[in-house]
Amino acid sequence: MGYTDQRFNVNLSILFTELPLLERPAAAAAAGFTAVELWWPWIETPTPPQAELDALKKALDDAGTQLVGLNFYAGQLPGPDRGALSVPGTESDRFRANIEVAADFAASVGCTALNALYGNRVEGADPAAQDALALENLVAAARAADRVGAILLVETLNKPESPLYPLVSAPAAIEVVDKVNAATGLGNAKFLLDLYHLSMNGEDLSQVIKAYAAKTGHVQIADNPGRGAPGTGSLPLEQLLDELKDAGYAGWVGLEYKPGDRPSAESFDWLPASARAAR
C-alpha cells in the first residue's frame, strides 16, 4: 500500500508551467510519468483553431503520455473565474460552444474524464436560476461525454480560496452529480474528490471517502497548508489514498500541487521513480 501502488498522473496546468504548454508532456515523461491531466489550456477561447488542438495531441503522442483528465472551458483559470457553466450570458454560451470541442479532443487522445467546473455565484443573479442553468449545461456535457465514452466530473472547491463558488462541500457536489444522473439516465456523472480542497473546507476526509468513494470518478491531491507536494504540509495523504483504495477506488490520482520555488521536475522526490509510470 502507500504511494507506490497508486495510479498517478501529473496536472500540466499547475506543474511544469515554467515551460510552454507543448513542452510539458515531454517534461512529465522525462520525470518518469506516463499519464497527465489539464485544465482547459485556452483560457481566452472555448473554440481554439484546429491546428492548436492538433499540436497538443501531437505533443502528448510524441511524449508517450496519456491524457486522463481534461477540464471543459472554465473562464480565466488560473485567475478570478471558477468555471462558466452556471454564469448567465456570455460565459454560459462559451461553455456550451466548448462542449463538443472538448469532447471531440478528449476522444482524439483517448481521454475518458471531462471536468466541468460549476462557476461562481454572480452578484444580482438569482442562485436558483444559476442552478437551473448549470443543470441544463451539465446535462448537455454529460451527454457529450457519454458520446465519446467518458465520464463527467463535478468538483468541490474550497471556500477560503473560492468564496463565490457554491460547491464547497462534498455533499454539495454529490447533490449535483445525482441530479445530473437523474436527468440523463446515463450514470456517467461522478464526483471529483480533491483532498486538498476538502481539507481546506475542514471536512472529515476519511468520512468523505467512506461515504462517496463509489461515486468518485477522479481524485486530486496536494498537501495542506500551502498546496505543495506531499510531505510539505500535514495531510496524511498516503494513508488517505490507502483508505480510498480500501473503499474500492481504483482510478487516477492527479498531482495538482504547486512545486514551490524549485523547478517542477525536482518536486517529485516524495515518489520513487519506479512508481511514477501509469499502471
**How far, in Å, are 79, 177, 209, 264 from residue 161 at the CA level?**
11, 22, 22, 23
**Is 155 one of the annotated active-site residues of the chain?**
yes
The alpha carbons of the chain give a radius of gyration, in whole angstroms, of: 17
Whether 91 is catalytic is no
Catalytic entry in 37, 91, 155, 243 = 155
Please report, to the nearest 10 degrees, the dihedral formed by the alpha carbons of residues 84, 85, 88, 94 taken in order.
70
Show Cβ contacts of residue 218 under 8 Å, excluding neighbours closer than 6 positions: 69, 113, 115, 151, 153, 190, 192, 193, 251, 252, 254
CA atoms within 13 A on the CB side of 181: 16
Q: Give me the catalytic one of 37, 203, 243, 256.
A: 256
Active site residues: 155, 256
